[in-house]
């Protein structure tokens, strides 16, 4: 998790420079969105795989794939190859995220799950201190390609470690009659639980949702008939197939897991849209050096980890749906700060600080929602719940960033000032965040 976090945090500050170098600034939303679209597919596959055979195998497959995709992105000769690399990286990230959450749900009692999630967050602190600023310096001194190649070399270490541990586990499972007898009992129990598990997800459904998300992201990157057709086609695929990957009642915020899944989508959509547009504002309008943008990501990662630690240690007696309300309140404040940061006379660090405030809110809301989803899940179906949460998170990101990109490009198409477009995007984010805060009580667990 430590090295994976290092890779994830270092990539984000380099994407605007990569898009500019490859003459694809207009497709920047697609570069960011393709990762999210592919996470849908990775999350569905990882969740089903984890429920059927444990979390180790999808985790191993995810980290190995991550190494390959970083090399593909580093070698990009066009913006479309970078999009492809980010898409495959999204598949890997979706598998890894769902596998980790499923492992926590399977291995820890409810009273320790919050601390386990907080520990995962603390693994990001040191990477957040070094990763983004170092990536900004490397991009400024050499090239963004060096960042991707270097991250591939670093990510290779956890990939080899996970694969080695998995192979050792297989050996242990085949040593002696006692182990075989234990495996037979476990397999018998799994067969008894088979009817309680979710049906095998159709691979074509997951692919259709990911394809629809990618088409929608491309559609909102321009303002003409061709882009409009892609956007409509992508939206149609999402409307038809996405509900099959979510619990019934998600769109109506039915109490329990459906409401929890919907809240994750709303919060994540708003947060990651802000995280995509603030660096773009700093790079293209304020001409802020990449190393300073990297520091904003550093501050956000530290804030998220610190907030997650606080909710697991100092606020663990709070009802979790109230932590969601508190988190959404901070995120509304962050959107307002980002909007103020578009005013030319306001210092650039104002917009950058909004990322830190938003991360404080997500550090409260995201772990609380994950714990609520696990508490609403029957035994043996944590992978299903984690997959639904990952799917909703990615759908939320696609929807919100898609609407934001459409508004942004529409204003640019009508000749409006670029800063007005950014202000409109940040104003839009207040809507899903406020809705999440109002619906939080419907996700209430047995706190």
Summarize pLDDT for 245-263 with one digit per residue, the tens. Answer: 788 888 888 888 889 989 9
What is the reported pTM?
A: 0.69
In the predicted model, what is the mean pLDDT of the chain?
78
pLDDT at position 171 is 55
| Residue 282's pLDDT band (cuts 50, 70, 90) | confident
Summarize pLDDT for 112-132 with one digit per residue, the tens. Answer: 777 777 777 677 767 767 777
Residue 221 has pLDDT above 80, yes or no: no
Average pLDDT over residues 309-316: 74
pLDDT at position 14 is 79
pLDDT at position 357 is 94
Question: 284: which 2 tokens?
Answer: 């293209």
Higher-confidence position of 83 and 191: 83
Residue 181 has pLDDT above 70, yes or no: no
Average pLDDT over residues 12-33: 74
Taking the C-alpha atoms of residue 97 and residue 42, their distance in angstroms, rounded to an integer, is 9
pLDDT at position 178 is 47
pLDDT at position 334 is 94
Average pLDDT over residues 138-147: 81
Residue 186 has pLDDT above 70, yes or no: no
Higher-confidence position of 137 and 328: 328
| Residue 179's pLDDT band (cuts 50, 70, 90) | very low
Give residue 87's region: left, alpha or beta (phi > 0; psi -120 to 50).
alpha
Average pLDDT over residues 98-118: 76
Closest CA to 352 of 433, 282, 298: 282
Could you tell me if 182 and 5 are in contact, meaning their C-beta atoms sit under 8 angstroms apart?
no
Q: Is 18 helix (H, G, I), strand (E, B) or coil?
A: helix
* Buried/exposed code over 89-118 (b: 16+ C-beta within 10 A; e: otherwise): bbbbbbbbbbbbbbbbbbeeeeeebbbbbb
Higher-confidence position of 122 and 307: 307
DSSP codes of every residue in 159-224: HHHHHHHHHHHHHHHTSHHHHHHHHHHHHHHHHHTGGGSPPPPPHHHHHHHHHHHHHHHHHTT--S
Among the listed ranges 63-67, 133-137, 150-154, 347-351, which one has the minimum average pLDDT value?
Answer: 133-137
pLDDT at position 291 is 67
Domain count, the chain: 1
* Parent domain of 27: 2-443
What is the CATH classification number for the domain harbouring 257?
A: 1.20.1250.20
Residue 328 has pLDDT above 90, yes or no: yes
Residue 224 has pLDDT above 80, yes or no: no
| Residue 427's pLDDT band (cuts 50, 70, 90) | very high
Taking the C-alpha atoms of residue 238 and residue 137, their distance in angstroms, rounded to an integer, is 39
Closest CA to 165 of 67, 93, 57, 65: 57
Residue 182 has pLDDT above 50, yes or no: no
Among the listed ranges 264-273, 295-304, 324-333, 373-382, which one has the minimum average pLDDT value?
Answer: 373-382
Residue 329 has pLDDT above 90, yes or no: yes
Summarize pLDDT for 25-78 with one digit per residue, the tens. Answer: 766 767 766 777 777 788 777 777 777 777 777 888 888 888 888 888 888 888
Summarize pLDDT for 341-398 with one digit per residue, the tens. Answer: 888 888 878 888 899 999 999 989 988 888 888 777 766 566 667 777 877 887 888 7
Higher-confidence position of 170 and 354: 354
Residue 443 has pLDDT above 80, yes or no: yes
pLDDT at position 192 is 45
Residue 288 has pLDDT above 80, yes or no: no
| Residue 190's pLDDT band (cuts 50, 70, 90) | very low
């Amino acid at each position: 998790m430590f090295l994976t976090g290092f890779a994830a945090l270092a990539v984000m500050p380099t994407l605007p420079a990569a898009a500019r170098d490859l003459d694809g600034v207009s497709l920047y939303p697609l570069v960011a969105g393709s990762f999210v679209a592919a996470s849908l597919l990775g999350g569905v596959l990882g969740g089903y795989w984890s429920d059927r055979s444990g979390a180790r195998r999808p985790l191993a497959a995810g980290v190995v794939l991550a190494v390959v995709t970083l090399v593909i992105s580093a070698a990009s000769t066009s913006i479309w190859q970078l999009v492809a690399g980010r898409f495959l990286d999204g598949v890997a990230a979706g598998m890894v995220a769902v596998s980790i959450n499923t492992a926590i749900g399977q291995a820890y009692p409810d009273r320790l799950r919050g601390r386990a999630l907080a520990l995962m967050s603390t693994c990001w602190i040191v990477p957040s201190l070094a990763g983004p600023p170092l990536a900004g310096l490397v991009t400024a001194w050499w090239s963004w390609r060096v960042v991707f190649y270097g991250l591939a070399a670093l990510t290779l270490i956890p990939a080899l470690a996970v694969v080695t541990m998995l192979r050792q586990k297989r050996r242990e499972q085949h040593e002696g009659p006692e182990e075989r007898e234990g495996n037979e009992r476990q397999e018998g129990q799994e067969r008894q639980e088979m009817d309680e598990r979710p049906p095998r997800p159709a691979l074509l459904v997951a692919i259709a949702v990911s394809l629809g998300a990618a088409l929608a992201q491309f559609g909102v990157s321009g303002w003409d008939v061709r882009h409009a057709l892609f956007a409509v086609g992508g939206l149609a695929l999402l409307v038809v197939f996405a509900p099959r990957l979510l619990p019934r009642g998600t769109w109506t915020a039915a109490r329990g897991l459906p409401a929890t899944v919907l809240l994750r989508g709303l919060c994540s959509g708003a947060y990651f849209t802000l995280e995509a547009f603030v660096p773009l504002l700093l790079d293209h309008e304020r001409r802020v050096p990449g190393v300073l943008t990297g520091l904003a990501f550093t501050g956000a990662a530290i804030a998220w980890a610190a907030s997650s630690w606080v909710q697991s240690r100092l606020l663990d007696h709070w009802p979790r749906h109230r932590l969601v309300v508190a988190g959404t309140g901070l995120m509304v404040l962050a959107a307002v700060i980002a909007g103020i940061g578009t005013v030319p006379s306001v210092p650039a660090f104002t917009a950058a600080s909004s990322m830190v405030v938003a991360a404080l809110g997500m550090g409260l809301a995201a772990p609380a929602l994950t714990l609520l989803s696990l508490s609403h899940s029957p035994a043996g179906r944590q992978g299903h719940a984690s997959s639904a949460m990952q799917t909703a998170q990615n759908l939320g990101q696609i929807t919100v960033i898609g609407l934001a990109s459409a508004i942004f490009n529409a204003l640019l198409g009508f000749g409006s000032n670029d800063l007005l477009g950014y202000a409109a995007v940040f104003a839009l984010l207040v809507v899903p965040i406020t809705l999440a805060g109002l619906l939080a009580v419907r996700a209430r667990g047995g706190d």
